[in-house]
Amino acid sequence: MIRTILRGAKLTGACIACLFPAACFSTGDGTGPALEDCVRATSVTMTDALRFDAECVRVSSGETVLWTNPSPQRHTVTADPTKAANPANVSLPDGTDPFDSGWIPPGGNFEYTFSVPGRYDYVCLPHENDAMVGTVIVEE
């Protein structure tokens, strides 16, 4: 009886959390950013430390994000689960086509215009296992 009540409480808590959109943007496994951790920005830097800076950005629908690579290494910006080492690291809103920058050489850049609202999780293919992952939240 107590177990059933507790299970119901957890389910109710989860349903209530999704009434507040910020709570629903967390990846759920504790590794991805929550909406409140995302900065409003249209540029992301690929660092020597194998990170996207900022890890999570928020933009409005129709805005373009520019990724720049000042590091001495090649990187990618890949939102294509068929190319990722772990497809769970990539997510796209329903009906959105995957995208992939291809190799971005040192000093190079890549830009992408986001037209569909939602969450886009992407990776750097050669550094995905080093946790070089990022997120773009597109708002209406």
pLDDT at 31: 53
Domain range holding 52?
37-139
29 in a structural domain: no
pLDDT at 113: 98
- CATH code, domain with 127: 2.60.40.420
Q: Looking at the 3D structure of the chain, how many domains does it have?
A: 1
52 in a structural domain: yes
22 in a structural domain: no
2 in a structural domain: no
At 138, which helix (H) or strand (E)?
strand 133-139
Query: CA 74, CA 40: separation in Å to the nearest integer?
Result: 26
- pTM, rounded to two decimals: 0.77
44 in a structural domain: yes
Q: In the predicted model, is pLDDT for residue 36 greater than 80?
A: no
7 in a structural domain: no
12 in a structural domain: no
